[in-house]
């Protein structure tokens, strides 16, 4: 006649309206049963309104539980533990909730587990008698029967009540240990040869929150390739490994598993306790600039550097180049002394002197924490340091060409420039060489032209730039101008081809010399004097005749 739902929202209480008449008989039927609970029971199987009066119909669903047992025997599989040193067990639901603990076998070896609801559980041996190993965890599965009025309980392999579990006698438990070196460079372990010949370790055991020494183990490459072991009698005994001393050039040893037991090593890893020594590495920086000490190299023609250990020439890194800001970064530097060599010099520049690089181990303490770092210096100065490449000197080569395109001698040139540079050369041949030019702006002036030619005017100007390139001014008499940047020990070169124009007819070539000017003045004076004298003679003879 009516369907109602009971839930936590209505506090598991509902009413229904009786049909007219207090003598009508009613009954309540549960439509659906909650899994894990027995079928509902009621305090009234049938009722009338008169019979119920002010009372309530109470519906009860009882949690389905069951009991089971197993037998725990010694290693022979039939002898129970009969002393006070008994094994102890606990049962935990898969969600982590504890169902029962401190379960012990009776004199027959029987262990009873009661009030187990449906679900999946783990039976764990929390304590094994002295001399025995703990059993492996055993799964327990609890399900309803088909009628839903009781549970079925099974152990591993669907074994029911009476499942037999035995304890094996404990054997010596061996825990392997390994020394791990992290010092590979260029694909080679121990590239720098800094490992100790052997390392001693103290094995300690935790008891009542106190550490006590158990034994000392020595590991080496020669004996066991840095592998060894120690023995313990309990799988869950907590240990730690303390390395005695520290290998120079390496960070403080690290036992990556921390506190451990035989069981925890198998659960979390490969069962081996490992102690790691990492090679200390540092970093150093220097800046590489042009000779002004602030302008970095650009383009693809960059300097390259190689870093080698000083005593044996072992290579740390090669072909390092500066970045766009001129910074050269050297990484992964172990403790030791090294030489930084410029192995490629950009064309036109002098090779940088080698830099002495030193890396030392330093202990740093901050509060209760201590660590080791690598501190670097270059040429006994803290890094970064600034280094430059000086431009190599330039030779200026001038070839003198006549108006007809044929080389001609007899000219004289003067070259002036920065740092009081001033040289004058006169040659009977058409070739001139000016050596020792450096960065800056220069002027080339022809102070005497070859016979039958005019002087180059005005003076010709060019600039040797910081990056080694040369900027040439335009000039009508300079028919070619080029620069060659050299590598190796050769100097840089600037080559000019200067062509003179032909002197005008009847005009002596201008040489620009003071003696020439004086010659012209005397000649001009003599010519005037001769003219006047001729005039006087002409007048004198005319009067006389």
pLDDT digits (tens, 9 = 90+) for 2-15: 777 788 888 888 77
Boundary residue ending a domain (166, 192, 226): 166
More confident residue, 437 or 49: 437
- 286 and 381, same domain (yes or no): yes
Domain-embedded: residue 421? yes
Q: What is the 3-state secondary structure (H, E, C) of 71-124?
A: EEECCCCCCECCCCCCCEEEEEECCCCEEEEEECCCCCCEEEEEEECCEEEEEE
Domain-embedded: residue 212? yes
Q: What is the mean pLDDT of residues 89-108?
A: 95
- 291 and 384, same domain (yes or no): yes
- 307 and 352, same domain (yes or no): yes
Q: What is the mean pLDDT of residues 30-59?
A: 81
- 108 and 196, same domain (yes or no): no
Boundary residue ending a domain (166, 196, 222): 166
Rounded distance between C-alpha atoms, residue 202 and residue 197, angstroms = 17
Q: Are 283 and 378 in contact (CB under 8 A)?
A: no
* Interior angle at CA 241, CA 235 and CA 246, nearest 5: 165
Phi and psi for 158 in degrees, rounded to 5?
A: 60, 25
- 402 and 477, same domain (yes or no): yes
Given a cut of 70, whether residue 515 has pLDDT beyond it is no
Instruction: Cis check for the bond before 136: say yes or no (omega within 30 of 0).
Output: no
Domain that holds residue 28: 1-62
pLDDT at position 525 is 52
- 414 and 490, same domain (yes or no): yes
Domain-embedded: residue 518? no
Average pLDDT over the chain, rounded to whole?
89
pLDDT in tens, 247-277: 999 999 998 889 999 989 988 888 999 999 9
- 267 and 314, same domain (yes or no): no
More confident residue, 137 or 133: 137
- 243 and 213, same domain (yes or no): yes
Domain-embedded: residue 408? yes
Identify the CATH number of the domain in which residue 268 sits.
Answer: 2.60.40.1140
- 400 and 463, same domain (yes or no): yes
Among 29-33, 121-125, 182-186, 199-203, the minimum mean pLDDT is found in 29-33
pLDDT in tens, 463-485: 999 999 999 999 999 999 999 99
Beta bridge partners of 421: 417
Identify the CATH number of the domain in which residue 431 sits.
Answer: 2.60.40.10
Domain-embedded: residue 510? no
Domain-embedded: residue 238? yes
pLDDT in tens, 498-510: 999 998 775 555 4
- 231 and 324, same domain (yes or no): no
Domain-embedded: residue 403? yes
Boundary residue ending a domain (148, 166, 184): 166
Q: Are 494 and 470 in contact (CB under 8 A)?
A: yes
- 159 and 177, same domain (yes or no): no
- 71 and 56, same domain (yes or no): no
Q: Are 82 and 107 in contact (CB under 8 A)?
A: yes
Q: Are 437 and 396 in contact (CB under 8 A)?
A: yes
The total number of structural domains that make up the chain: 5
pLDDT at position 532 is 54
Domain-embedded: residue 367? yes
* Interior angle at CA 497, CA 496 and CA 501, nearest 5: 135
Nearest 10 degrees: CA dihedral of 503, 507, 508, 511?
A: -60
Among 106-115, 181-190, 332-341, 525-534, the minimum mean pLDDT is found in 525-534
């Amino acid at each position: 006649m009516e369907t109602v739902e009971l839930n936590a929202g209505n506090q598991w209480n509902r009413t229904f309206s009786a049909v007219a008449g207090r003598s009508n008989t009613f009954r309540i039927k549960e439509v659906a049963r909650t899994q894990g609970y027995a079928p509902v029971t009621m305090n009234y199987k049938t009722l009338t309104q008169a019979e119920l009066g002010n009372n309530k119909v109470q519906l009860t669903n009882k949690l389905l539980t069951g009991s089971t047992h197993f037998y725990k025997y010694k290693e022979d599989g039939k002898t129970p533990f009969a002393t006070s040193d008994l094994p102890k067990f606990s049962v935990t639901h898969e969600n982590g909730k504890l169902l029962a603990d401190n379960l012990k076998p009776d004199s027959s070896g029987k262990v009873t587990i009661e009030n187990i609801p449906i679900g999946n559980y783990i039976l764990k041996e929390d304590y094994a008698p002295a001399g025995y190993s703990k059993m492996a965890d055993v799964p327990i599965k609890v399900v309803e029967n088909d009628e839903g009025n009781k549970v079925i309980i099974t152990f591993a392999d669907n074994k029911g009540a009476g499942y037999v579990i035995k304890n094996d006698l404990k054997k010596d438990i061996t825990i392997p240990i390994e020394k791990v070196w992290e010092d590979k460079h260029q694909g080679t372990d121990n590239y720098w040869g800094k490992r100790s010949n052997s390392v001693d370790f103290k094995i300690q055991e935790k008891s009542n929150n106190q550490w006590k020494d158990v034994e000392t183990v020595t590991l080496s490459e020669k004996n066991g390739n840095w592998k060894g072991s120690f023995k313990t009698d309990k799988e869950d005994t907590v240990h730690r490994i303390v390395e005695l001393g520290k290998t120079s050039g390496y960070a403080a040893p690290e036992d990556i598993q921390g506190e451990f037991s035989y069981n925890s090593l198998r659960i979390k890893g490969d069962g081996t306790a490992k102690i790691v020594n990492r090679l200390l590495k540092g970093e150093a920086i220097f800046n590489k600039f042009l000779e002004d000490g602030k302008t970095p190299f650009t383009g693809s023609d960059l300097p390259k550097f190689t870093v080698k250990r000083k005593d044996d020439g072992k290579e740390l890194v090669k072909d390092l180049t500066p970045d766009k800001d001129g910074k050269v970064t050297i990484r992964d530097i172990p403790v030791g002394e090294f030489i930084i060599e410029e192995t490629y010099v950009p064309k036109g520049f002098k090779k940088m002197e080698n830099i002495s690089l030193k890396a030392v181990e330093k202990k740093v303490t901050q509060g209760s924490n201590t660590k080791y770092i690598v501190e670097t210096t270059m040429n006994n100065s803290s890094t970064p340091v600034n280094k430059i490449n000086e431009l190599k000197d330039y030779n200026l080569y001038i070839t003198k060409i006549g108006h007809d395109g044929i080389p001609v001698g007899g000219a004289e040139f003067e070259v002036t420039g920065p740092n009081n540079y001033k040289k004058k050369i006169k040659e009977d041949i058409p070739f001139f060489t000016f050596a020792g030019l450096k960065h800056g702006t220069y002027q080339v002036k022809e102070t005497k032209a070859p016979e039958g030619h005019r002087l180059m005017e005005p003076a010709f100007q060019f600039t040797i730039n910081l990056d080694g390139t040369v900027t040439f001014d335009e000039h009508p008499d300079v028919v070619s101008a080029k620069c060659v940047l050299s590598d190796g020990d050769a100097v840089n070169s600037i080559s000019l081809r200067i062509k003179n124009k032909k002197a005008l007819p009847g005009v002596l070539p201008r040489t620009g010399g003071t003696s020439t000017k004086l010659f012209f003045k005397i000649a001009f004076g003599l010519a005037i004097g001769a003219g006047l004298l001729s005039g006087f003679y002409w007048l004198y003879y005319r009067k006389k005749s």
